[in-house]
Amino acid sequence: MNTDRKYKIFTQLKLVIIHSEGRIDFQEMKQFMDHLKDDPEYDISFNSIVDLRNSKAAPDMKQMELFMKNLFKAEFMTERKDVFITNTPDHVILPYLLKQKSEELPLKIQVTSSLEAAVDFLELNEDDLLLLKKSFSELKSNSEPYEDFKLPP
């Protein structure tokens, strides 16, 4: 199964949304995060919503530990909120581990099963919810995504 990540940045909302499809590989996720950091519109303090519902986790604990070590470097530790949307137990491990480790940090993490709950956690409004629903639909389709990231062959 190929990995496919697409994202869109909303500077006015200080928000990044990420749609993930395919197998979640933690080495690839690190490369994706590095790619995202290079986007001139991206700001590490922006909140994020990560939709994992169309992806499958690769349960490699060694890779997960390395990914978490990289994620908890000082450059990522800023006051923000990250929400993971999932509908299957294999996605929950990483967000819950991140949530546990982040309790003493300014980073707040939530795991939810719906976009509505994510919007509530981020304290966004109904108009924002409609915008995000439309944007996630666009990211899920093959029609000209805002930004696309795939591993090089």
d(CA 93, CA 80): 20
Per-residue model confidence as pLDDT tens digits over 30-41: 788 888 989 999
Percent of the chain with pLDDT over 70: 65
pLDDT tens-digit map of 69-106: 666 665 666 788 989 888 876 666 666 666 666 666 67
Span 49-77, pLDDT tens digits: 999 888 877 666 676 666 666 666 656 66
- Which pLDDT belongs to residue 2? 44
**4 vs 35, higher pLDDT:** 35
Q: Pull the structure tokens for residue 116.
A: 């509505």
3-state secondary structure of 21: strand
Strands 147-149 and 4-10: antiparallel
Output the pLDDT for position 46. 95
**Looking at the DSSP assignment, which residues form a beta bridge with residue 85?**
51, 112
- Tokens 């939709």: give the residue: 51
Percent of the chain exceeding pLDDT 90 equals 33
Does pLDDT of 148 surpass 50? no
pLDDT band at 114 (very low <50, low <70, confident <90, very high): very high
Bridge partners, residue 115, by sequence = none
